[in-house]
Structure 1
Amino acid sequence: LTLFKEKKIKEAISFPFGVVTLTRMFFEGKEHNDKDAIKKMEKFLKSEFGKVSWIQNQHINLVGIGGSARNCARIHQSLHQYPIAGVHGYTMEQSDLKEVFQMLKKSSRDTLTTLDGLSRDRVDIILPAVSVFNVLFDMIDATAFTFSRKGIREGFIMNQIAKKYPKEFNKTNVLQDALRHLANEYKIEESGANQRVKLAESLLE
């Protein structure tokens, strides 16, 4: 868990548990949605996160990376027929996270194995993952939950490239670079897109 401010790391901590560990600790031999196990797990998470003072009441965006965050976003996209699956930067409100959590809690394991957006290898661990996001959201007093398709692997590669080509990645142009990447991925011609922007702006004048 890392706290960024003004694009710089301010704090960081690694907890001695992940979703697989949480599943073993609280759901061993139980259903994936066992109410008592969920209650004990949430109490444990609040206790562990509560030991870290800089987590509390930050009122900033909570950004999730990795497979669990990706699956959480995809499930929400599936529930709402979102037309572009897996888009980097997909943002959810706290009510959206709770919606996904409640759906997972009410669903049988068989239902989860066929759920759009959920990888089969994450059926048993997705509920603890979303629970972590929910508890963190509360404790941070987050403004939103955002899925980042770029994670530690991409960050490491970019860091290595930047050592040789320092101008290749500009951290002040993250949004612009992300939009350009989306445009390339969906074959959007930049000149045509710019013209449509001008037309839209003229309509709003």
Structure 2
Amino acid sequence: MIPTDPSPLVPPTAPRTVDLDGSDLVWRSHAISGSDQAAELVMLHHDPERETRTVMVRFPPAWRRDAVGHQPAGEEMVLLTGALTISGHTATAGSYLLIEPRATRSASSTVDGTRALVWFSGPGGGWSEGSAEAAGSIRVAPLDGSLSRSANDVMSGSVTVHDDLAEQTFPCDVDVLWTAHRRWAHVVSGDLVPAHSGPAVVRRWA
């Protein structure tokens, strides 16, 4: 007898992409630690087991945080519009900002109309005044092929930028942001990356 597979191979499927300018997005007010001005955010993805979150943040006009402090989570963001200054570093639209866990956050402010896609890794909240003993670093980088943030003891996963990302699968869960189209998708390991032309930022979660 020739054995048969009762579960034939199913080709990978492509997840739905989210229009980051879409009118159907659900914005919620969110208090930012250390600031008395709330921002608005859209929760795009949340993995409670990994303690990771993907959100889009819209800052109010003239937002600022004069407090000096740190938080346990790592934070990476792509500035979609406007500009954000933190601890002497300024990220403008089309750039990447890395804030490692326990990095000292001071003199934070935005220009009007600032919006960012943010990846959090680590526990939420936990704002503490002042600098941490083992403070992380902050850096700003352009969104081009030279950007490659590898996994390390401080930040898990990785971030890379692709001039054009072909339809493919990844061996781990990823977030993909198409900057020119302002589209985003969370792609589970084994699923097919949606077809969009142009530059793409890939945030691997493992």
TM-score normalized with structure 2 length? 0.21
Q: Which has the higher contact order (CA 8 A, sep 6+)?
A: 1
The structure richer in strand per residue is 2
The structure richer in helix per residue is 1
Larger radius of gyration: 1
